[in-house]
Structure 1
Amino acid sequence: MDKAHKLSPNGETRKDYKLVTFADGDPENPKNWSKLFKWYITMVVAITCFVVAFCSSVITADVPGVSESFNVSHEAALVPISVFVVGFGVGPMIFAPLSEVYGRRIIYGSTLLVAVVFIIPCAVAKNIGTLIVCRAIDGIAFSAPMTLVGGTLADLWRNEERGVPMAAFSAAPFIGPAIGPLIGGFLSDAAGWRWLYWIQLIFAFVVWVLITFTVPETYAPTILARRAKKLRKQTGDSGHVTEAELDPRPFSQRLGVFLIRPFQLLFRELIVLLISLYMSVLYGLLYMFFVAYPIIFEVRKGYSSGITGLMFIPVAIGVILSAACAPLVNKHYLKLVLKHNGRPPAEVRLIPMMISCWFIPIGLFIFAWTSYPHLIWVGPCLAGLPVGFGFIFLYNAANNYLVDSYQHQAASALAAKTFIRSFWGAGVVLFTEQMYDRMGDQWASTFLAFLALACCAIPFLFWKYGAKIRQRSKYAFGEDDTELEKGREQQLVDPNSPLHEDLEDLERARSYVANP
């Protein structure tokens, strides 16, 4: 336990505080828990992430069923998919800072419970309005686990241990959307579209029970705050405080910074804007598949929903293979770290991106020109393999590049990317069918392939000009890391320091960098 001083606005010391921290080998520190228990928590939160992603896509298996039941247009029946994805973009802006005030566990438990409850009205809905409203609420609620998983892993694992757990987690958000139409196709064929919601309810309830009753709090500041409160009660000494409790700013002020800064970066920083647009295009392609696959395999080839769901298997395999390669990418990066004496330029993060970006357009070109109704299913089916393989490489590389470029404001840069990505992914679902009808199956997919191909220029652009762009930026990180550490010491002494918000943003980014 260290001593810290809190300064009044005029710079005079007001009181000595006993800073409550973890000691070496402290059993309450999540990083000191047994590897078996840490792996259990890792798998629970990864499965939760999978379930959330599964819930986002499973209902795409029977959109016509909703349209017929409520006598609405096909476009209206797609809206429940869109509003769910919009929720993915809105929720993190609120739940990320809330988790840093109240801890991870209560946010996990409360939001998952809300999500479970609002799945029920979807399953028994009597009109499309009920379905849309409840899916929107579910999207916002389900976004919390997706936001917090990366932070939970950062709570549990030290930097040198985190590679494999992060790889295991990274695959979950992409396998879920691939498995959703597979299970949903056979289930809707057998029992109708309402069972697509009952299966969500079952899965979501199981992970809610696991998280709520078997996963303890992992966020260190919350654990330390409870310890400080206990010490104050036991000793009667109000001087026992945590670092977070030395922050005099109200939560509303901290939330305001988190809400405004992402938009400042998005519209003022070329790196954030272009990377966000690239990730939005990829996210949109993923959700376009949920509409394009039924067009190609059900409408054109006459397959059932269940058989169409099988066509997503190569996408899942590609994702798994990509996740399996993640430790190799990390190993290569560590070599570059040594080569640059521990301070590699941010652009080295673009190397996996420059290699993997080609897989997306390759897969789309194959999908486009093998999707004729008279051709065998093998071509468009296997086209999902390179697409799935490219996704994780691109997302992780983009996240890491943003963090390294905007270290002190990295969480805001990631939030900007997530926000625009989710709205784009929600929008493309609504016009994909019209695009295929008007352009034709082959040219619609080819257009997407050329779009992905054009985006391949982005990592190469930043490889050449990224350093110059960052030098001229007022937001990009250009100071030595030791200044941040000095700033942290200053933060303990003076919570009103202008570095306070930057340090807070950096810590948030370190927690959420792996969130796809």
Structure 2
Amino acid sequence: MDVPIPGTVHLVDVLGTSHLRHEQGEKDIILVPQPTDDPNDPLNWSPRRRLNSSIWQMVWALSGAAIINALPPAYLLIQEETGIAIGDLNTGNALMYLFFGFGTLLSQPFALNFGRRPTAVFSLGITSFLVLWASYMKTTGEWYANRILTGIFFSTIESLIELCVADTKFSHERGFHMGFYTWALFGGAFLAPIPAGFLADAAGWRWINKMYCIIGVATTVAIYFGFEETMFYRHNVVDEFLDERADDTLAPVETVEPALVSEGKEAISDTSPSSDSEAAQSYAVHGYAHRLKLWGHRDPRQPNTFLKFFFIPFYLMRYPSIVFSGLLVGCQLAWYNVLLGTITSVFGEAPYNFSSNMIGLTYLACFIGTSIGCLLAGWLNDRIATWVARKNNGIKEPEARLWVAIIPMIIHPAGCILFGVGGAHHIHWVGVCFGIIMVTTGIVMGATLALSYAVDCYKEIAGEAIITVIIIRNIIGFAFGYAVVPMVDSLGLQNTFILIAFLGVALTSLCFVMIAFGKGMRKSTAVSYWKLVEEHGFQAH
């Protein structure tokens, strides 16, 4: 048998002959991964419970992104009172994003080995008090130290929810929920400055972080009671079933977990129970009191990869699909840092001369763009990927998601020109805000596509792959965050955004290179990949 190609799955049952479990709403969609017979498996939760889990995950992401990104509208006030230059404030945020990347080398193995829930509670609680500390800063050194520690302790914002999505969602629905997560992440960052601007004008900039600390602590308490543990151990099983009409050159595709045949019995099992009743008696449904525990959710069969984890993300940089995802999402963070680093200076100076509260309101344009981008890169992404799979004899390739890149390839450069060139030539502020909407739509779409693609390509190591992506992303983001003010000073607003427009087109066009050659690249890594999965006992997502 040929070695299965990582990421290639049998998603659509074209002939209706598959014995694997199917989606209830769309009868021809095969569930990937296959749920186990354990009622505590998140894939077996009721639709209402799964939705509730997703909502709390997004509440955590939105509130966390909000409390650490509320200060930009008050940068001019901070500079006047403390003497910390706007360039240094941007550098501090760049340091925070850099340590978001490297901090995941600690936070992600904690989440993978001890649970998503304690990671969420502790990281948001500690970050809330770091936000409070920032309200008392007086020097550049304090600002840098605060941003570095925030990056380390809240690095979970970059990777935890992707892990939860992989835990609780099937392959054909992950795009929508990844888009939902991206909406919460960017939405929190873009919504937070709006009330912050008014608060700075009314009570001073220091009250921004004091108020957001209160919000952070309140959310921490709330998620303790609402954020449910999604960690669940499942085995890897290669399914050799292929649609009989599929091309003979296709490699056997993969699904995971002991699959339940149509009669309800186990096809593969470690315990091989003699009857369905015996299998059912071996599981106890966990009650609400058990779910409130911060510890004890780890399956004893689950291998401990905490120490090995530090090296695996760097090892994964040999996989082209993961490096591509890191480059794509890294460039989106770069454009995000440049945009946020220039909004205040564009609207705070002549001819606009916006006050802090009015600058804060301009972030509504960012939020609108975020919402549009998440809808297009989420729901539309899933629908196109499923449609392409139906046309491909039911076989889904991760590259099918990348066709949506046509939209950001057009809208991103157009937005850059409207914001950068328009702002430099002092067009009406409404036109500049339309440019912001277009830029953020492209940013969010690019980030969502990259993260979904990385998870789809190597789903057994989704948690580790995300860290590799985030490290690459945040190194790029740090470079642009550090250089944004000198770059604008040197090139000017207009030329800076013309440069970003061309860079955006060039990087997004790599999506079409991956559509053409991505499967071949994944095939070339198959032997080393499955060896890695076997050696470390990674579980499927």
- Structure 2-normalised TM-score? 0.74
Q: In the alignment, is residue 337 of structure 1 matched against residue 389 of structure 2?
A: yes
Give how far 1:271 is off: 3.9
Does residue 317 (structure 1) correspond to residue 372 (structure 2)? The answer is: no
Residue of structure 1 aligned with 2:423, choices 359, 371, 376: 371
Note closer, same or farther for the CA distance 1:150–1:277 as it changes in structure 2 (3 Å cut).
Answer: closer
Partner of 2:333: 283
Q: How far apart are 1:342 and its partner, in Å?
A: 3.2
Equivalent position of 1:245 in the other structure:
300
The residue identity in structure 1 corresponding to 2:433 is C
Contact 2:92 2:147 in 1 (8 A): yes
Q: What is the match of residue 489 of structure 1?
A: none
Matched residue type, 1:264: Y
CA distance in 2, matches of 1:498, 1:173: 31
The farther-off stretch of 149-158 and 384-393 is 149-158
Counterpart of 1:386 in structure 2 is 438
> 194, 213, 236: which is aligned to 2:206?
194
1:53 aligns with 2:65: yes
Instruction: Show the counterpart of 1:397.
Output: 449
Partner of 2:345: 295
Structure 1 residue 244: Cα displacement: 4.5
Counterpart of 1:463? 515
- The one-letter code sitting in structure 2 at the alignment partner of 1:312 is Y
Residues 261-283 of structure 1 deviation map (CA, whole Å, 9 limit, x = unaligned):
322332x3444334322321211
- The TM-score with structure 1 as length reference comes to 0.78
Change (3 A) 1:295 1:58: same
The code of the aligned residue for 1:445 comes to: F
- 2:132 is the counterpart of 1:120: yes
Go from structure 1 to structure 2 and tell me whether the alpha carbon gap of 1:376 and 1:150 turns closer, same or farther (over 3 Å shift).
Answer: same
Determine the structure 2 residue equivalent to 1:353.
Answer: 405
Task: Give SS of 1:220's match.
Answer: coil
1:464 offset after TM fit, Å?
2.6
Matches within 5 A, 1:419-498: 419-473=471-525
Deviations 1:217-274 (A, max 9, x none): 332349xxxx99999xxxxxxxxx9995246x6x4xx2343222322332x3444334
Give the secondary structure class of the aligned counterpart of 1:58: coil
Pair 1:217 & 2:222 matched: no
Q: Is the 8 A contact 2:461 2:533 kept in 1?
A: no
Distance 1:503 1:367, change over 3 A: farther
- Aligned residue among 261, 277, 289 for 2:312: 261
Which residue of 137, 146, 152 corresponds with 1:140?
152
- Is the counterpart of residue 414 in structure 1 residue 466 in structure 2? yes
**Distance in 2 separating the partners of 1:207 and 1:68:** 32
2:88 alignment counterpart? 76
**Residue of structure 1 in register with 2:534 after alignment:** 500
Q: 1:127 to 1:369 in 2, by over 3 A?
A: closer
Q: Which amino acid aligns with 2:409?
A: C
Residue 11 of structure 1: aligned partner: none
Among residues 391, 397, 414, which one is paired with 1:362 in the alignment? 414
1:62 to 51, 59, 74: 74
Answer whether contact 1:56 1:84 (CA < 8 A) is retained: no
The structural deviation recorded for 1:88 is 1.7
Secondary structure of residue in 1 paired with 2:313: helix
Partners of 1:308 and 1:228 lie apart in 2 by 56
Aligned to 1:218, the other structure's residue is in SS state coil
- Identical residues among aligned pairs (%): 23
What runs of 5+ residues in structure 2 fail to find an aligned partner?
1-34, 235-281, 287-295
1:408–1:503: 8 Å Cα contact kept in structure 2? no
CA distance in 2, matches of 1:182, 1:257: 43
CA distance in 2, matches of 1:436, 1:337: 45
Amino acid at match of 1:356: P
Name the structure 1 match of 2:101.
Answer: 89
Q: Partner amino acid for 1:308?
A: I
Contact map agreement 2:173 2:382 (CA 8 A) in 1: no
2:401–2:449 contact (8 Å) kept in structure 1: yes
| Change over 3 Å in CA distance of 1:367–1:472 after alignment to 2 | same
Contact 1:318 1:384 in 2 (8 A): yes
Select between 64-73 and 359-368 the one with higher mean Cα deviation.
Answer: 64-73
Cα deviation for residue 30 of structure 1 reads 4.0
CA contact (8 A) 1:121 1:131 kept: no
CA separation in 2, counterparts of 1:246 and 1:330? 33
Structure 1 position 395, deviation (Å): 2.2
